[in-house]
């Protein structure tokens, strides 16, 4: 092993006690060789000479075996203090004050003075003073005046040197600590930079993957047009679905000159502006654009039916969902319009309504004829029927009436869909309407084992409306409540005034409806899962018709239900005279 490699193993920032003791050990070794040489410095006192060698060896062994790093820093000066005393004994053994080996004092002195702590300055100076003064004291004050001057003057110089060494060592330690912290910080920063670089590469790969996925999804959306605009309506996003729907490629549109208003029916825009109480005589492009995004600017998404006009003049009926377009800071920078072609859907709905209306008319006539002939058979006095025949005839009549009611419901829904929903508006005393519904339902409730309770006000409660249609609505609610309430349950029909409204509330203790299905109850042919699970008869038109009637009277239908507990449905009607309203019946999502 070379000297350089051996020295490289020495910790520069904090060498061990043994490494600090090595120079002193080497110095004593050299002194011993010189003293033992024939022409060397003579040994004047062998016991003191040997004691100095032994003491420095003891100090060296202590520097090796004692774990000084685990002890407090001030304990480490024990080794150089012992070495300093060994120097004093060496002087006494090799000529006392005339010994040439006084220079060895520097080695332990520097060690002590360079240790951390101002107390080590005093220890180094005091130890040096003792080493230099001891020969004079032991010799009985002998020696030349120069020796006496050196004995007292030298410790003062050593004290000054100790101060300087201690301060320099202290500053070097501070600088070394700062340098070490800087190196550690650089290493941490380097490690963080490497980690950040790895994460950057990984995120870049993820971003590329996400971009490819988004691009794939974007290109796959061909049945819906997605159009993006800036805050003024200029188009800057145009997907393949928009190209297919409107007949223009992305390159043709993204030239900074196409406005989304260019693809809308002008009359629909003007009608929308009129609904917004806007002036339509001299509207600007920005005003027209407000017809599309007024609701979105207010903070809500807007779903509305519009008509797109292609450059070739072809009109496309669409349903457009308009939403805000936000940047990374959440600021609105434009708008997104997602349009679905509703041409086929509306045509299918129209054909279905025509079919339902046609079939209903075709069924109503023969059903009426069947009921008429059944009544003639039952009332024929010339050929009276037996009890068994009358029983069979009653079953046929009940089923014929049930079919006739179903046909009537289908015709009613067709009228609502077509906008032909007449109301005979008069003063209607709701108490009599509700009472009639309760009395009509009592036999059915008794057969089902259900108690029906009426809660009516003492005085009259009058509204403007169609008494027949309102009675139909209440009958539907009461009938449903009885059907969905098991034997032993209760149906409560209450009428009350609440401010400027009249409320007819029908509550039951029945099977209830799941919360997730409440919003779909007014859709045609929809039936709650609890109804189908419990095999409750019905086709899913009762609530649909009821809501249409209530909406036409300017009211609303409130529904609250808990599965297994019961349901409460309230008809809320304005006491003031309502403007007749045609209520569109929601499309069925479940096939009849």
Q: Give the global pTM.
A: 0.42
Cα separations in angstroms, 109 against 32, 63, 95, 319, 453: 20, 16, 21, 95, 111
Contacts of 340-347 spanning 24+ positions with Cβ under 8 A: 340/223, 340/224, 341/223, 341/224, 341/245, 341/316, 341/317, 342/305, 342/317, 342/318, 343/316, 343/317, 346/317
pLDDT band at 285 (very low <50, low <70, confident <90, very high): very low
Q: Given pLDDT bands bounded at 50, 70 and 90, which one contains residue 360?
A: low
**493-505 residue pLDDT tens:** 998 888 888 898 9
Please give the CATH number for the structural domain made up of 222-341: 3.30.450.20
Q: End-to-end CA distance of the chain: give it in Å, rounded.
A: 97
Write down the architecture of domain 426-574 according to CATH. 2-Layer Sandwich (3.30)
Listed in sequence order, the residues at least 6 apart from 541 whose beta carbon sits closer than 8 Å to its beta carbon are 406, 409, 410, 413, 524, 525
**Do 346-418 and 426-574 have matching folds?**
no
Domain extents in the chain: 3-187, 222-341, 346-418, 426-574
Is-contact 561 513, C-beta < 8 A? yes
226 close to 341: Cβ distance less than 8 angstroms: no
Here the tokens at position 263 are 């693809």
- In this prediction, residue 362 has a pLDDT band, given cuts at 50, 70 and 90, of low
Task: State residue 388's pLDDT score.
Answer: 81
Mean pLDDT, rounded, of the chain: 77
> What is the per-residue pLDDT across 116-163, written as a single tens digit (0 to 9) for each?
778 878 787 777 777 777 666 666 555 566 666 666 677 777 778 778
Rounded Cα distance between 471 and 452, Å, is 17
**Where residue 576 falls among pLDDT bands split at 50, 70, 90?**
low
Specify the CATH number for 346-418; select among 3.40.50, 1.20.120, 3.30.70, 1.10.287. 1.10.287
**Using 50, 70 and 90 to split pLDDT, how confident is the model at 286?**
very low
pLDDT given at position 278: 43
- Listed range (30-44, 254-268, 320-334) with the worst mean pLDDT: 30-44
Given pLDDT bands bounded at 50, 70 and 90, which one contains residue 308?
very high
Q: 78: pLDDT confidence band, cut at 50, 70 and 90?
A: confident
Helical residues (DSSP H) of 94-144, grouped into ranges: 106-114, 119-138
């Amino acid at each position: 092993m070379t000297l350089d490699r051996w020295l490289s193993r020495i910790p520069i920032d904090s060498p061990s006690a043994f490494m600090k003791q090595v120079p002193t050990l080497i110095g004593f070794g050299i002194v011993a060789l010189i003293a033992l040489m024939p022409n060397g410095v003579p040994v004047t006192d062998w016991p003191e000479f040997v004691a100095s060698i032994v003491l420095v060896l003891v100090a060296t062994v202590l520097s090796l075996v004692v774990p000084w790093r685990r002890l407090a820093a001030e304990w480490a000066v024990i080794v150089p203090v012992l070495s300093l005393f060994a120097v004093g004994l060496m002087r006494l053994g090799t000529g006392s004050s005339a010994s040439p080996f006084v220079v060895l004092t520097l080695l332990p002195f520097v060690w002590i003075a360079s240790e951390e702590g101002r107390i080590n300055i005093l220890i180094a100076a005091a130890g040096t003073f003792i080493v230099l003064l001891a020969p004079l004291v032991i010799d009985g004050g002998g020696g030349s005046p120069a020796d006496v001057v050196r004995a007292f003057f030298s410790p003062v110089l050593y004290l000054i040197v100790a101060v300087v060494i201690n301060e320099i060592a202290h500053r070097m330690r501070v600088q070394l600590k700062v340098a070490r912290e800087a190196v550690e910080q650089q290493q941490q920063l380097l490690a963080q930079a490497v980690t950040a670089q790895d994460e950057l590469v990984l995120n870049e790969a993820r971003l590329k993957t996400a971009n490819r996925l988004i691009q794939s999804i974007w290109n796959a959306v061909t049945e819906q047009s997605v159009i993006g605009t800036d805050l003024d309506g200029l188009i800057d996003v145009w997907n393949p679905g928009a190209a297919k729907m409107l007949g223009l490629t992305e390159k043709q549109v993204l030239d900074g000159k196409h406005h989304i208003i260019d693809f809308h029916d002008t009359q629909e825009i003007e009608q929308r502006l009129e609904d917004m109480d806007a002036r339509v005589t001299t509207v600007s492009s920005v005003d027209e654009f407000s017809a599309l995004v007024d609701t979105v600017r207010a903070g809500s998404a807007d779903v509305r039916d519009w008509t797109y006009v292609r450059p070739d003049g072809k009109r496309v009926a669409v349903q457009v969902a308009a939403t805000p377009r936000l940047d990374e800071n959440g600021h609105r920078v434009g708008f997104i319009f997602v349009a679905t072609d509703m041409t086929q859907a509306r045509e299918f709905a129209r054909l279905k309504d025509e079919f339902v209306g046609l079939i209903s008319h075709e069924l109503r006539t023969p059903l009426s004829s069947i009921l008429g002939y059944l009544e003639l058979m039952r009332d024929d006095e010339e050929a009276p029927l037996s009890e068994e025949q009358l029983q069979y005839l009653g079953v046929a009549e009940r089923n014929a009436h049930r079919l006739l009611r179903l046909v009537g419901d289908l015709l009613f829904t067709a009228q609502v869909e077509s906008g032909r929903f007449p109301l005979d508006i008069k003063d209607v005393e709701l108490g009599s309407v509700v009472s009639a519904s309760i009395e009509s339902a009592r036999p059915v409730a008794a057969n089902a084992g259900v108690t029906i309770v009426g809660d009516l006000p003492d005085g009259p409660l009058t509204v403007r409306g169609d008494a027949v249609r309102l009675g139909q609505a209440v009958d539907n609610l009461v009938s449903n409540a009885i059907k969905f309430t098991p034997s032993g349950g209760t149906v409560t029909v209450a009428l009350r005034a609440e401010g400027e409204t009249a409320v007819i509330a029908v509550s039951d203790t029945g099977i209830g409806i799941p919360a997730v299905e409440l919003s779909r109850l007014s859709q045609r042919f929809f039936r709650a899962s609890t109804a189908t699970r419990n095999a409750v008869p019905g086709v899913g038109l009762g609530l649909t018709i009821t809501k249409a009637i209530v909406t036409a009277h300017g009211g609303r239908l409130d529904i609250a239900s808990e599965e297994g507990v019961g349901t409460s449905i309230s008809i809320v009607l304005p006491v003031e005279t309502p403007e007749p309203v045609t209520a569109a019946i929601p499309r069925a999502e479940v096939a009849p």
